[in-house]
Structures are given as C-alpha cells and as structure tokens.
C-alpha cells in the first residue's frame, strides 16, 4: 500500500478521560494486583447502573463465560443451545466441560438467535440457552426467558458487545441468570483485555467469588468472615490487574460521552446509506422498536459473497480497513467434528458470507466517515 493512500483503521483505541492519571494512582497505591480500589469502583458502578446483584471483573469476556459454565455445573452429557454465528468463546466454555452444542440458526433482521427455533432444539439433556446480543442489539428476551422458565433452563447472556444497550428498558446482561461483558480494545468501553461477569441469580454469588479466586475462599478472608482461607472448589485466576481496572474505570466514568459519540457515527452511516439500500445494493442494520442499541458496530449486508469480497479488496486498495465478521462455528473444523454440515443453518451461512463491518470507533472523524461513504458509493455507482 503506497504512503499517499488514506489509512482508516477498523478500530483505534482512545484515551477519553483520566486513564493515565488513574494508572499512576494505582501504581502509587502500592497494590496493582486484582481487586483493589479501582476494581471495586468498576464493579460498584456497574452493579448500580445496570441493576446487577453482583459484578466481578474478569480478565476477559471469555473468562466470564468460563466461570458461567462452571457455575451452572455443565458436565459431560449436558446440552447447550446457542447460535453458530458468534465468537468461539461462547462455545468453548461449554464444550470444554463436556457439553454437546446445539447450534440454532439466526434471524435475518437482528442476526440474533432465532427464538422460534429454540424449542425444536430442546431435549431432556438441555441445561442452558446461551444468547448472543449481536452488535449490541438484544435478542427477543421475553420469549427466551419464557422458554427457559418453562423448561427449567439457565440463561447465559453473552453481552460482550452489549454494554449500555437495552431491551424494553432493561440493560443487556441483566436479564439472564448470568451476563458477560467484554472490555477488549474493540469494544465501546475498553481496557485492552478485560471483562466482567454479571450475577443476576443470587445463588451463584458466593461460588462465583470462590471460582474467580483460584477455588479459594480468599474473599471471605479479606472481609474477615474466616480467619484463614483455603482451597474449597475448582477455579482459576480470573482477576484483572489494578492497572487494567484503573484504565477501565476512567472509561466507565465517560460512558455516556463514548456511547453518544458512537451512536452519532452509527447514525451518520445509517442515514447516508439509505439510497444504496433503496437501490438494492446493500441492507442496513435493523433495530427493533423494543431495543436500544449502543452504536457498537455498523455493518452492511451485500447480495452475495463475491460482491462482499470485491468490496473488501476495493476498500483495502483505498487504505480503508473494513472487515467481515464471524465464520459460522458449525462449519469450522471443530463444528464438522461434531457432525454439522453445510446447509443446516442457511441464514447463518448466508449472512456470514455477505456481511461487511465499516470502521467505527471513538475518534473517527466526519471526514474519515465521508471517505468511507464516498468510496462505498463509487464502488456501486
């Protein structure tokens, strides 16, 4: 790529507020291991803002999902229903504990799990439904919760992309038994690598603290509830350092500024792509009336895979990094080992081959967006 070409990345981390100041404070406090002052501030802020019974910071959303699988006692022979159109962590956490994965197709509008196909995937061995709120837009949680209650199933919300988004006024991550957030550098609120587990079912709170602390009752010791701590359960070290928590807290303090900025960027793409959609070249995201999104990502859906790939190459030639998203898990080498075959989840397969994500991050300028949009128009017209 020549030096005179525009370079617009897909994502770029940003300093929003007091990130560096808080990191200095954390270091000078003499404690940079996990669960210090900034970790506690982050957890308290999220508990209160999102109406969660207990929030614990983790090293990633993947770690939060791993904890979820342990908490609901997933074991060999259990079955978990989930979409194939998701990141591998949604599946790995259950599969590594012996569960059979029952992949369900997604909906054409939101690209979320099709709630009308969940019941046909049920069996006496089903233990949980793992929902993924794609692009920060909620799944149809009313029906999914009703199905789960009627069949005595747990709901795990993979809300990695969903912080600040709502469904009928309720925040994503607050409706299932357990929710999981990501603070990876590509997410709205970031500390580079990080996550949190949101405990909404109070019976999991005490054990979650133990699992997160290597299977020990160390938190009880620090609270003075026991005079020494010891190994009491399975677990691992899921705590992020105070340096990451300090960075995260600064971002959480500015969450409304960040979300508003991203939603303006999202709206600008959406409003300026109406004509291309009317002409049949693309399809824009669809946001149901009962959903409030967070501007996490902006995608377009092309008519076929060939056009999608041509567009990605065209953008690349212009110095613009637009990318596709998930490869369906049921068609991965691991999915094929489980017996899944092409054609079983047609909507998932079609969407995966036709979707393009446009650059969207805090700090993306209007002129950069105009370059993306102008090149998109030139490609089609």
Alpha helices in 254-362 (DSSP H): 255-272, 274-278, 305-317, 333-337, 346-354
Q: What pLDDT sits at residue 2? A: 43
Q: What is the distance in angstroms between the CA of the first residue and the CA of the last residue of the chain?
A: 24
The pTM (predicted TM-score) of the whole model is 0.96
Rounded CA-CA distance 42/29 in Å is 17
What confidence score (pLDDT) does residue 1 get? Answer: 40
How far apart, in whole angstroms, are the C-alpha atoms of residue 43 and residue 56? 6
Q: What gap in Å lies between CA 198 and CA 61, rounded to an integer?
A: 11
Instruction: Read off the pLDDT of residues 188-206 as tens digits, 9 standing for 90 and up.
Output: 999 999 999 999 999 999 9
Are 86 and 158 contacting, i.e. CB atoms less than 8 angstroms apart? yes
> Could you give all domains of the chain from N- to C-terminal order, each with its CATH number?
19-253 (3.40.640.10), 255-380 (3.90.1150.10)
Query: Which residues in the chain show pLDDT less than 50?
Result: 1-3
Place of tokens 């409304």: 256
The two three-digit tokens of residue 57, written as one number: 């910071």
Q: What is the DSSP string of 75-95?
A: -TT-EEEEESSS-HHHHHHHH
Q: What is the DSSP letter of 136?
A: G
- The 8-class DSSP code of residue 189 comes to S
323 class by beta-carbon count within 10 Å (0-12 exposed, 13-18 middle, 19+ buried)? middle
| Integer Rg of the chain from CA | 21
Residue 11 and residue 320 in contact, taking contact as beta carbons nearer than 8 Å = no
Q: Are 122 and 81 in contact (CB under 8 A)?
A: yes
Which residue matches tokens 């709170």? Answer: 205
DSSP annotation of 63 reads H
Beta strands 126-132; 79-83: pairing state = parallel
Distance CA 373, CA 198 (A): 38
Copy the structure tokens of residue 294.
């967070």
Q: Are 194 and 64 in contact (CB under 8 A)?
A: no
Q: How far is CA 5 from the centre of its chain?
A: 32
CA atoms of 132 and 130, how far apart (whole Å)? 7
Task: List 320's β-bridge partners, or say none.
Answer: 8
Identify how many contiguous H helices and E strands the chain contains and give both numbers.
14, 12
Residue located via tokens 């300028």: 365
**349: three-class secondary structure by DSSP:** helix
Q: Residue 196's beta-bridge partner residues?
A: 57, 181
Instruction: Please state, in angstroms and rounded to a whole number, the distance separating the CA atoms of residues 125 and 132.
Output: 21
**In a 3-state reduction of DSSP, which class is residue 252?**
helix
């Amino acid at each position: 790529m020549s030096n005179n070409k525009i370079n617009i990345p897909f994502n770029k981390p940003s300093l929003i507020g007091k990130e560096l100041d808080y990191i200095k404070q954390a270091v000078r406090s003499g404690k940079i291991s996990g669960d210090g002052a900034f970790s506690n501030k982050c957890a308290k802020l999220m508990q209160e803002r999102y109406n969660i019974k207990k929030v614990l910071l983790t090293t990633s959303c993947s770690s939060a999902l791993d904890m979820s699988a342990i908490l609901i006692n997933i074991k060999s022979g259990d079955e978990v229903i989930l979409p194939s159109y998701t990141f591998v962590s949604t599946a790995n956490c259950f599969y590594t504990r012996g569960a059979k994965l029952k992949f369900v197709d997604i909906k054409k509008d939101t690209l979320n799990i099709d709630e009308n196909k969940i019941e046909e995937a049920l069996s006496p061995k089903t233990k949980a439904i793992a929902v993924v709120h794609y692009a920060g837009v909620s799944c149809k949680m009313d029906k999914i919760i009703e199905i789960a209650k009627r069949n005595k199933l747990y709901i795990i919300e993979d809300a990695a992309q969903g912080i600040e988004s709502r469904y009928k006024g309720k925040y994503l991550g607050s409706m299932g038994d357990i929710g999981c957030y990501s603070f990876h550098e590509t997410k709205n609120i970031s500390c580079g690598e990080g996550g949190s587990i949101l405990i909404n079912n109070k019976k999991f709170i005490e054990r979650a603290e133990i699992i997160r602390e290597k299977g020990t009752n160390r938190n009880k010791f620090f609270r003075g509830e026991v005079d020494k701590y010891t190994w009491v359960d399975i677990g691992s070290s899921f705590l992020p350092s105070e340096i990451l928590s300090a960075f995260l807290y600064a971002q959480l303090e500015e969450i409304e500024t960040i979300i508003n900025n991203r939603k303006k960027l999202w709206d600008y793409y959406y409003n300026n792509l109406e004509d291309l959609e009317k002409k049949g070249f693309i399809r824009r995201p669809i946001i149901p009336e009962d959903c409030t999104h967070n501007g996490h990502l902006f995608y377009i859906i092309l008519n076929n895979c060939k056009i999608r790939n041509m567009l990605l190459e065209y953008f690349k030639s212009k110095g613009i990094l637009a990318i596709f998203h998930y490869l369906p898990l049921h068609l991965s080498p691991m999915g094929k080992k489980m017996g899944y075959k092409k054609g079983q989840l047609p909507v998932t397969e079609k969407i995966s081959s036709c979707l393009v994500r446009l650059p969207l991050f805090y700090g993306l300028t209007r002129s950069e967006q105009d370059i993306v949009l102008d090149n998109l128009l030139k490609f089609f017209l």
